Amino acid sequence: MDLQSHLDSCIASPTAVNREAALRLVRSRPELASYFVNSLNDAVWFGDLDNAGFFNPQHSPKVKVVESERGTMYQAEGWPALRYLEQIAASAQGDQATRIAGIVRAISSDAQQRGLDNWRTWWSLATVLSQLPLDVLTDLDVDMIRFWLSGRFESNMVGHELGAKLLPRLLDSSEPANWHRALLLVDALSMIRRTGEPS
Amino acid sequence: MSDKVGLLDSHYLGEVLKPSARKLGERCGAVAVDILARRLTEYIGSVEDDKYSYIWRSAIEDHEQDAHKEDARVVLVDAVRDAALGATSSGSPAALSIVKSLLQSPYPTLTRVGIYVCGEHYGTVGAAFWECATESWFLEVPYWHELYWFINKAFSRFSVPQRAQFLGFVEKLEGECSDEARRVEWDETHRRDLLHPAFGLGDLQVDEKYQKLVERWGRYETTQTSTRIPLSDGWATEAPSHPMRSWACPMKSWWPSSRTLCLIAGVGMVPHVEGSPHLSLQR
């Protein structure tokens, strides 16, 4: 509890010295990492967390397969660092927004290569992407979204996040490029699952 | 329900498309309508599979009697409709082209959307209706609901040539009647029903034609022949004195009766409804 209190005081007053102290503590006591990141909601921490590797795709959690009397169950673990990105994405601007978009793409690409299909990760990434400034998005991001939606697990929350938050923003924009992305997004959201594909 | 499964459940698809489809049409025009219409036809299947769209979609407008609100097809009909309304809110050659594309679709559902849009935006795209209109729209039951309301909403804005074209369709229509003895009855009562939505809108000649047919074939209660104006619980009685006041409400509760279903199914003979003529229709 003392250590958590120390983290709390660093978070309440996020000076450079306190941020460094908090990260040093978490490096030495990894069991505090989840508590620490879950307590953050200020963008001032972003650079420190990024430099410390908190958003490195190697941390991207797999879906756990649990055999039980009720059959095979799938448990998708959360990733606190993504929850933090969800918290700050709406306020991100400039280089920070560009970097966050890069993190989203790196995590998605890594998951695709490693065959990770964690719907909680997709949901978080969708939440982050939906709030970023539109000028950091590209048409290729919609291809990434198609991958999130076409996983073997239900994708309703992922789709709803993108359709309810990102789509109206794209359409409210005055940039025709964003209208085109809105079309691509609608095309992705309305896709039919191929026959035999699990849902 | 459609046997196709979307990446999003239809409920969530509706939550996503409902608030944005109109703006998508305003922003992206024909491309937006095309994408949504194509997706709708993927869900429907073949043109043949679209013959009975009125079963799962009783009216193109939002309707309390739509039986499959959670069906992706219903969600996509809303989206195509709203995108088309958004894309045609101002007149342009592109807007006309969008509506013509819908009206000329081999899928009756898309044609119905086109007719609906023409009625809603008659000032901007109504001309497309007359460029594309076919006799089948005036004869076949799948188009009836949209056609009725199109006439009712737009008749007072028909140009002289459009009015003449409308009356031409009405005068020339001929259903294929398996009971030859009742052919005239069927054709004339159908004409009466097509004139009904234009009755009382200020065209004395149309009113007179309509009244003559009413005088000849009478009211539903007395003749027991169907007016083919469908109601939720069967078939309507003949029109009261002012259609828009007391007729419009029951019309909005349209639901096809078993008789309608058989007409559409091309069974040839309608099932026996007390007093109704045995008829079938042809294009």
Mean pLDDT of B100-114: 98
A77, A64 contact by CB (below 8 A): yes
- Say if the Cβ atoms of B5 and A193 lie within 8 Å: yes
Report pTM.
Answer: 0.84
A165 CB neighbours in chain B (<8 A) are none
Nearest to B43 among A168, A171, A192 (CB): A192
pLDDT of residue B241 exceeding 90:
no
* Three-class SS state of B78: helix
- Say if the Cβ atoms of B32 and A164 lie within 8 Å: no
Residue B101 — left, alpha, or beta (φ > 0 → left; ψ -120 to 50 → alpha)? alpha
In chain B, the percentage of residues whose pLDDT exceeds 90 is 62
Amino acid at A66: V
Where residue A92 falls among pLDDT bands split at 50, 70, 90? very high
pLDDT of residue A84 exceeding 60:
yes
* Minimum Cα–Cα distance from B30: chain A residue: A183
| Distance of alpha carbon A185 from alpha carbon A143, whole angstroms | 9
B243 secondary structure, DSSP code? I
Out of B14-28, B107-121, B232-246, least confident range: B232-246
Q: What is the pLDDT of residue B4?
A: 85
Matching residue, tokens 């076919």: B134
- Say if the Cβ atoms of A182 and B17 lie within 8 Å: no
Better pLDDT: A88 or B67: A88
Nearest to A190 among B5, B13, B28 (CB): B13
Out of A48-52, A148-152, B30-34, B278-282, least confident range: B278-282
Q: Which of A186, A191, A193, A194 to mutate to test the interface with B (most CBs of B within 10 A)?
A: A186
Q: How many CA atoms lie within 13 A of B158 on its CB side?
A: 22
- Tell me the CA distances in angstroms from A2 to A7, A10, A23, A25, one per residue in order: 9, 12, 16, 12
Out of A79-93, A124-138, B92-106, B240-254, least confident range: B240-254
Q: What is the pLDDT of residue B48?
A: 93
Where residue B182 falls among pLDDT bands split at 50, 70, 90? confident
Q: What is the pLDDT of residue A70?
A: 87
- Say if the Cβ atoms of A164 and B35 lie within 8 Å: no
Amino acid at A188: A
pLDDT of residue B223 exceeding 80:
no
**Complex ipTM > 0.85:** yes
| Distance of alpha carbon A20 from alpha carbon A27, whole angstroms | 10
